[in-house]
Structure 1
Amino acid sequence: MTLRAVNLAHLLTAAATRLPGRDAVVSGPTRLSWPELDARASAVAAELRRRGIGRGDAVLVHSPNHLEFVAVMFGVWRAGAVFAPANFRLTPSEVAGLAELTTPSALICHADYADHAVAVAEAADLTGGTLWIGAAADADGAVAGLPDPAGREPDEPVWNGDHAWYFFTSGTSGRPKAVVLTHDQLGFVVNNHLCDLMPGLGADDAQIVVAPLSHGAGVHLLPQVARGAKTVLPTSTRLDPAEIWRLVEAERVTNAFTVPTILTTLTQAPEASRHDLGSLRYVIYAGAPMYRADQQHARDVLGDVLVQYYGLGEVTGNITVLPPDEHDRPSPDGVEYGTCGYPRTGMQVSIQDSDGTELPTGGQGEICVAGPAVFPGYLRNDVANAESFRDGWFRTGDLGMVDAEGYVYVTGRASDMFISGGSNVYPREIEERLLHHPAVAEVAVVGVPDPKWGEVGVAVCVASDGQDADEDELRSWLGDSLARYKIPKRFVWWDEIPKSGYGKVVKRTIKQRLATS
């Protein structure tokens, strides 16, 4: 027997019913109440249905953060379709590749990205055509011009296992894959976020969006809607710390989701000290390890409001949590980096060797996870599914360990590890130490081919303002605490380190650039 699930659009339905007089979304001068946002979502759902789009049909969405993006998200679900949002920074050909993978029946695209719409139309049979975000209300297919339906459109019935979201991996190690997220799985994630990340969240709270809604920030939006908390959307399409901190003060923002690179940029900006940030309760960061030096600076600026979680899109972020009052937890002897927390409620972590045997406390192996937040598989990718699961465990591809009290430590990405002279080298250990040097603002260590040693390390550094250091000084700095074989053979200085659209360091690109330099 297949059980009925709760359509994610019902989160909006309930908020609009319960909180008719409260703000739902604020963007510039526009303030939408929950019933107004609900009506806009219904207009999208009605139009999709009129175009023949329904349960199980994929709708590819390409747009930067926008008020209409939020209405589209819930309108797609209300119609029973699958939300497939692309990172707006991708090129037209990259988005066309996502269309080939997901075979969308319709496209909803921002008006500034017409070239992307053309590429998608050539790659997919868009039986439902294209709708436009950010277009004038009188433009053909404009989301802003959709007529208000007579009453709320009904939330399409859905069942356990029904696809809700095609969550694209960032593609840092190859072509992106589509992670299948279902309505029932995301229902668990919403409850888990409220339980572990933002306990006590309610209708008096407010979040500010500082990362793409196409990815983790979109998932973070769902518990806000579930509790009726206001969402504040900055108007700038680029990260503008001055605008962010002004809005935090003006809208009494209580929570935000971000990634380490964005959090570091925001807390290093001078505007952070010019505004009242006392309303903040939870500043949640995830998506990549955050170096301890940057973490401590953020705490100095914001106070004890940081919440770290570790997770991948395949587990919708739900692997561990490190609450604000745990950020001073000491690491075991010999471990330079801090913990990413303990397993999330209802989830289980296992550190396994290459054969799938669970390792004892302190043993380093692959982080594997089980529980209701784990996705059912990748879309149309049997090979990746077979590689990613073993004996029912999802294999993250990350290396880590667990201490005696069950706290998890991410020691690196399995693909980042390299072997030099027969010894395993884990870049994160080196990166953490280099960041303590005053001349190093950012660093990425990669392994490159070497005829003698097999591979050797190269440290790509970004200089701190007004600081410099030569190679001998950095090598000596590391020599006090690292074995000789771990010390990079080369140190190079770049103006910036390549990052993906989600703020992750792209080591594949670094290796390619080093190979041609």
Structure 2
Amino acid sequence: MAGPAGGDPKGGVAPQSTRVANLAHFVTRSARRLADRPALVWGERSWSWREFDARIDAMAACLAGRFGVTKGDRILVQSQNCNQMFEAMFACFRLGAVYVPTNYRQTPAEVAWLQEAGGAAGVICNASFPAHAEACNASAKPPRFVLAIGEAAFGEDYDALVDAHLGESVPNTPVDRDDPCWFFFTSGTTGRPKAAVLTHGQMAFVATNHLNDLMPGTGAADASLVVAPLSHGAGVHQLAQVAAGATTVLMPSERFDVAEAWSLVERYRISNMFTVPTIVKRLVEHPAVDDFDHSSLRYVIYAGAPMYRADQKRALEKLGPVLVQYFGLGEVTGNITVLPPAEHSLDDEVARVGTCGFERTGMEISIQDEAGQELPPGTSGEICVAGPAVFAGYYDNPDANAKAFRNGWFRTGDLGHQDEAGYLYITGRASDMYISGGSNIYPREIEEKILAHPKISEAAVVGVPDPDWGEVGIAVLVAVAGETVSEAEIGAFLAEKIARYKMPKRFVFFEEMPKSAYGKITKKLVREALEERGILAGEAAA
């Protein structure tokens, strides 16, 4: 059949509406189909899909009728994981409003800045954070209203409002593909956090892709344990669970208790969980891993950072072939690569050691040089990505958008290379690399080598100024519990494994590695810890 004449890029087809399903429809269809099956479990309480949908309806009716929330309004949520936080997400979606969750461990001033920068019309704040609510109300652009999850003096009670509006039905607001649904704040490793704008169409693709590429076969018979804050990657993961009709199980408290996590896996026959490598490490090194039945697990999904090979092997030995790795930033909604269970192996000759996987369905990776030219396989450069999972841009931040996009590609700021088969290997963040004596040093390579030492549990290498070499490395290490190890021992161990110019100048031992609220080791926090101990000042003086 001949193609359309005239070179019309749309193929002669008139433009159509870009309307998509509202993300809250995930709840609607599960409530219709699975009405009395459990949607959410928290502690000793559970809510069926019918009850979950009704509570979302009630909050949506309250937000719209009592507080005048309409499509496009932003609602900031400051809370640790709880049923109300999960409901609020879908209540916002249902109204076409924008869900703006915070990292609940941020300070009152930081959260007030997020509320002001995001132009939030309202705030839903857990009673545990009165200072945060007060700071938002005192900001230059205070919210129209504040709701309190739990008994608090600073706002109307969330549950009382839900009870008052139960039975009211709110239809899902019509939305287009590019209508915003979520402001996903970056971690702010440099400067202020930026609000990545996620949209209904983008998130529908991500939920579908998660189910296809990360945890195929997930459905209403499955259950997912939440061991990370719902404000970020775990929230996206749970959105996919809702889409599949699977049960979401929250940890009973904000404190992560490994034994409790394994008891929930056994009790609810958990089939998947999303976490980060440091939490996987804690799960498999704790004695409780052998005390509870975890045979129901099919997918233990880890992201946020590559897993060190030693930790990966230990997890495979304890859990079997259930590990799934992915690489993705908030701006791409965790949707760049996947390394499925079948491609995790204990055998170094079989496994592609060090890879974070291949491109997710519908996504494309390009390794580019500083000028934006694509580099051949095996050559390191900046990891750039295109596809339906890429966000719409940063809210009200044209300078950041200009830096983040080039020729249609989103620039991740991560460095790496692809092999001939398309598997991606991350070298590190561009900001983590340092130059010593004119040579580029990538900390991750050194960290991997250090972690092969049986007495080392965690490692982080950072570059610091040096009068002779420009920059040198400092390795921050945490020893395995009960073990004693010296700088000289690690230096001798490393000397046979890396070139001399890559050798860290110093090895510093911490009792505990600084980590973000999401359990990730970040170089920013490591540097701050070194500064607090006066180590960086000492190096500069030397």
* TM-score (ref. length: structure 2): 0.92
2: distance between equivalents of 1:364 and 1:140? 54
Per the TM alignment, residue 329 of structure 1 is displaced from its structure 2 partner at its CA by 8.8
1: distance between equivalents of 2:432 and 2:464? 11
Per the TM alignment, residue 5 of structure 1 is displaced from its structure 2 partner at its CA by 2.0
1: distance between equivalents of 2:229 and 2:181? 18
2: distance between equivalents of 1:5 and 1:247? 36
Amino acid at match of 1:266: L
Q: Which residue of 2 aligns with 1:409?
A: 425
Amino acid at match of 1:103: G
Q: Which residue of 2 aligns with 1:310?
A: 327
1:177-326 equivalent positions in 2, closer than 5 A:
177-326=194-343
Per the TM alignment, residue 157 of structure 1 is displaced from its structure 2 partner at its CA by 1.3
Whether the 8 Å contact between 1:449 and 1:456 is mirrored in structure 2 is yes
1:127-166 equivalent positions in 2, closer than 5 A:
127-135=143-151, 140-146=156-162, 147-166=164-183
Amino acid at match of 1:246: S
1:410–1:494 Cα change, 3 Å = same
Whether the 8 Å contact between 2:180 and 2:197 is mirrored in structure 1 is yes
1:44 alignment partner, one of 59, 75, 79: 59
1:358-507 equivalent positions in 2, closer than 5 A:
358-507=374-523
Structure 1 counterpart SS, 2:355: coil
> Is 1:31 matched with 2:46?
yes
2:83 alignment partner, one of 59, 67, 89: 67
2: distance between equivalents of 1:316 and 1:194? 14
Report Cα offsets for 1:453-504 as digits up to 9, x if no partner: 0000100111112222222221121111211000101011111221111222
Per the TM alignment, residue 126 of structure 1 is displaced from its structure 2 partner at its CA by 4.5
1:7 alignment partner, one of 22, 35, 48: 22
Per the TM alignment, residue 64 of structure 1 is displaced from its structure 2 partner at its CA by 0.3
The runs of at least 4 aligned residues of structure 1 exceeding 6 Å deviation read 329-333
1:381–1:337 Cα change, 3 Å = farther
1:166–1:345 Cα change, 3 Å = same
Identical positions, percent: 56
Amino acid at match of 2:20: A
2:525 alignment partner, one of 509, 512, 517: 509
Amino acid at match of 1:110: N
> Relative to structure 2, which stretch is displaced further, 428-437 or 147-156?
147-156
Whether the 8 Å contact between 2:364 and 2:386 is mirrored in structure 1 is yes
Per the TM alignment, residue 144 of structure 1 is displaced from its structure 2 partner at its CA by 4.6
Whether the 8 Å contact between 1:181 and 1:375 is mirrored in structure 2 is yes
Amino acid at match of 1:250: R
1:327-338 equivalent positions in 2, closer than 5 A:
327-328=344-345, 338=354
Q: Where does the alignment leave 5 or more consecutive residues of structure 2 unmatched?
A: 1-14, 536-542
* TM-score (ref. length: structure 1): 0.96
2: distance between equivalents of 1:375 and 1:331? 36
Structure 2 counterpart SS, 1:40: helix
Q: Which residue of 2 aligns with 1:20?
A: 35
Whether the 8 Å contact between 2:58 and 2:167 is mirrored in structure 1 is no
Amino acid at match of 1:359: L
Whether the 8 Å contact between 1:366 and 1:396 is mirrored in structure 2 is yes
Whether the 8 Å contact between 1:68 and 1:144 is mirrored in structure 2 is no
Whether the 8 Å contact between 1:23 and 1:31 is mirrored in structure 2 is yes
Q: How many residue pairs get matched?
A: 515
2: distance between equivalents of 1:437 and 1:471? 12
Structure 1 counterpart SS, 2:101: strand
Per the TM alignment, residue 263 of structure 1 is displaced from its structure 2 partner at its CA by 1.2
1:119–1:230 Cα change, 3 Å = same
Whether the 8 Å contact between 2:98 and 2:180 is mirrored in structure 1 is yes
Whether the 8 Å contact between 1:331 and 1:338 is mirrored in structure 2 is no
Per the TM alignment, residue 125 of structure 1 is displaced from its structure 2 partner at its CA by 3.9
Amino acid at match of 1:265: R
Amino acid at match of 1:432: E
Whether the 8 Å contact between 1:53 and 1:128 is mirrored in structure 2 is no
2: distance between equivalents of 1:344 and 1:329? 23
Whether the 8 Å contact between 1:108 and 1:132 is mirrored in structure 2 is yes
2: distance between equivalents of 1:231 and 1:419? 46
Per the TM alignment, residue 143 of structure 1 is displaced from its structure 2 partner at its CA by 3.0
1:98-137 equivalent positions in 2, closer than 5 A:
98-123=114-139, 125-135=141-151
Whether the 8 Å contact between 2:61 and 2:168 is mirrored in structure 1 is no
Structure 1 counterpart SS, 2:156: coil
Amino acid at match of 1:108: I
2: distance between equivalents of 1:195 and 1:401? 25
Whether the 8 Å contact between 1:336 and 1:432 is mirrored in structure 2 is no
Per the TM alignment, residue 224 of structure 1 is displaced from its structure 2 partner at its CA by 0.8
1: distance between equivalents of 2:113 and 2:45? 35
Amino acid at match of 1:3: T
Whether the 8 Å contact between 2:54 and 2:167 is mirrored in structure 1 is no
Whether the 8 Å contact between 1:438 and 1:467 is mirrored in structure 2 is no
1:339–1:144 Cα change, 3 Å = farther
Amino acid at match of 2:493: W
1:295–1:320 Cα change, 3 Å = same
Whether the 8 Å contact between 2:150 and 2:157 is mirrored in structure 1 is no
Report Cα offsets for 1:385-405 as digits up to 9, x if no partner: 111111000111111111111
Whether the 8 Å contact between 2:137 and 2:143 is mirrored in structure 1 is no
Whether the 8 Å contact between 2:302 and 2:326 is mirrored in structure 1 is yes
Q: Which residue of 1 aligns with 2:186?
A: 169
Structure 2 counterpart SS, 1:340: strand
1: distance between equivalents of 2:116 and 2:144? 16
Whether the 8 Å contact between 1:336 and 1:429 is mirrored in structure 2 is no
> Relative to structure 2, which stretch is displaced further, 189-198 or 166-175?
166-175
RMSD of aligned residue pairs (Cα, Å): 1.9
1:275–1:23 Cα change, 3 Å = same
Report Cα offsets for 1:396-429 as digits up to 9, x if no partner: 1111111111111111111100000000000000
Q: Which residue of 2 aligns with 1:79?
A: 95
2: distance between equivalents of 1:285 and 1:437? 23
1:350 alignment partner, one of 363, 366, 370: 366
Report Cα offsets for 1:279-329 as digits up to 9, x if no partner: 001110001111111111111111110100000000001100000010129
2: distance between equivalents of 1:37 and 1:187? 20
Per the TM alignment, residue 442 of structure 1 is displaced from its structure 2 partner at its CA by 0.7
Structure 1 counterpart SS, 2:128: helix
Q: Where does the alignment leave 5 or more consecutive residues of structure 1 unmatched?
A: none
Per the TM alignment, residue 127 of structure 1 is displaced from its structure 2 partner at its CA by 5.0
1: distance between equivalents of 2:479 and 2:352? 22
